[in-house]
Amino acid sequence: MAEGCMMALRYGMVFFNLLFWLGGCGILGVGVWLSVTQGNFATLSSSLPSLSAANLLIAVGTIIMVIGCLGCVGAVKESRPLLLTFFILLLLIFFLEILSIMLFFIYQDEIDHYAQRDLKKGLQLFGTEGNVGLTNAWMIVQTDFRCCGVTNHTDWFEVYNASRVPDSCCLEYSDNCGLDNPGTWWTAPCYERVKDWLNENLVALWIFALCTALTQVITAGKLYSTLACSTAR
């Protein structure tokens, strides 16, 4: 009975963590692809220049692959040290997720103020040498979200020291259209536009987070059962 229990749980752990590992490979692959093909698209943040979509995906994909690999090898080899390491990492990630969500809601106003201040600081680097990524990022965001500036299109006036905006703020793009009448510019603030977009997709994000948490709980449950069976042997 114990042998059958161990065999079933081992194959279940291997299959489950293989899917986990393949998911990490996919995320890592997308991150590498973005880094190679969209190298000029970096970040809107001036204080965190390495915080780009490509770098985040590469980091997350790598972490998932390592954890999935530990789970697979530990289950196949029936290695309690590897399974224990896998379990500790899983719990650490789970508690970090819970802590991050709690801190986000507690300090949401402070996060908003800091983000807006940092983004406005980043505007000063727009179009300057060595900041092609930040420049392209702002152009793409303003074009796709049909917005201008962080909190208002007048944010750009301080950058140019004149009543002008980047051409990506124009209702109809053309060279030097940012010098035209303000009536031809987008007036919606980019920060609020992006925030509204995130709120609209919050349900999908929460479903993803809950599925991830459920996956972690199931894996932890399988791990406990595997260790129990191993001890019974």
CATH number for the domain that contains residue 191: 1.10.1450.10
Is 189 within the bounds of a domain?
A: yes
Residue at 67 is within a domain = yes
Q: Looking at the structure, do residues 139 and 28 belong to the same domain, yes or no? A: no
Task: For residue 89, tell me if it sits in a domain.
Answer: no
Q: What are phi and psi of 185, to 5 degrees?
A: -110, 155
Q: Is the predicted pLDDT of residue 214 greater than 70, yes or no?
A: no
Mean pLDDT of 184-203: 84
> How much is the pLDDT for 57?
78
Task: Please indicate whether residue 152 or residue 213 has the higher confidence score (pLDDT).
Answer: 152
Verify that 72 and 163 share a domain, yes or no.
Answer: no
- What pLDDT is stored for residue 69 in this prediction? 84
Higher-pLDDT residue of 217, 22: 22
Question: What tokens were used for 189?
Answer: 């603030």
In a domain, 102, yes or no: no
Q: Which of 32-46, 134-148, 208-222 has the highest mean pLDDT?
A: 134-148
Same domain for 73 and 113? Answer: no
Q: Based on the fold, state whether residues 114 and 225 are members of the same structural domain.
A: yes
The mean pLDDT value for 34-63 works out to 67
The per-residue pLDDT of the chain, averaged, comes to 78
What is the domain count for the chain? 2
* pLDDT for res 203: 64
**In this predicted structure, what is the pLDDT of residue 127?**
82
Instruction: Tell me if 94 is assigned to some domain.
Output: no
185 has which bridge partners? 170
Same domain, 191 and 131: yes
* 175 phi-psi bin (left φ>0, alpha ψ -120 to 50, beta other): beta
Answer whether residue 96 is part of any domain: no
Note whether 46 and 122 are within 8 A (CB).
yes
User: What percentage of the chain exceeds 90 in pLDDT?
Assistant: 12
**Residue listed under structure tokens 């260790």:** 227
pLDDT in tens, 161-184: 888 999 999 988 888 888 878 888
119 and 66, same structural domain? no
DSSP 40: T
Task: Flag whether 87 is in a domain.
Answer: no
Task: Report the pLDDT value the prediction gives residue 156, as an integer from 0 to 100.
Answer: 94
d(CA 137, CA 41): 6
Is the pLDDT confidence value at 7 over 90?
A: no
Residue 185, helix vs strand vs coil = strand
Out of 54-58, 117-121, 165-169, 201-205, least confident range: 201-205
Classify residue 95: in a domain, yes or no.
Answer: no
* Candidate from 66-70, 91-95, 109-113, 148-152 with smallest mean pLDDT: 91-95
Which domain, by its residues, includes 184?
A: 109-232
Q: Poorest-confidence range of 43-47, 98-102, 120-124, 192-196?
A: 43-47
Based on the domain organization, do 119 and 222 belong to the same domain? yes
142: buried, middle or exposed (CB in 10 Å: 19+, 13-18, 0-12)?
A: buried
Instruction: Kindly state whether residues 42 and 143 are assigned to the same domain.
Output: no
Of 61, 77, 93, which residue sits at a domain end? 77
Quick one: 171 and 66 in the same domain? no
Domain end position, chosen among 55, 77, 99: 77
Are residues 113 and 70 located together in one domain of the fold? no
pLDDT value at position 140? 87
Are residues 63 and 131 located together in one domain of the fold? no
Looking at the structure, tell me whether residues 62 and 113 fall in a common domain: no
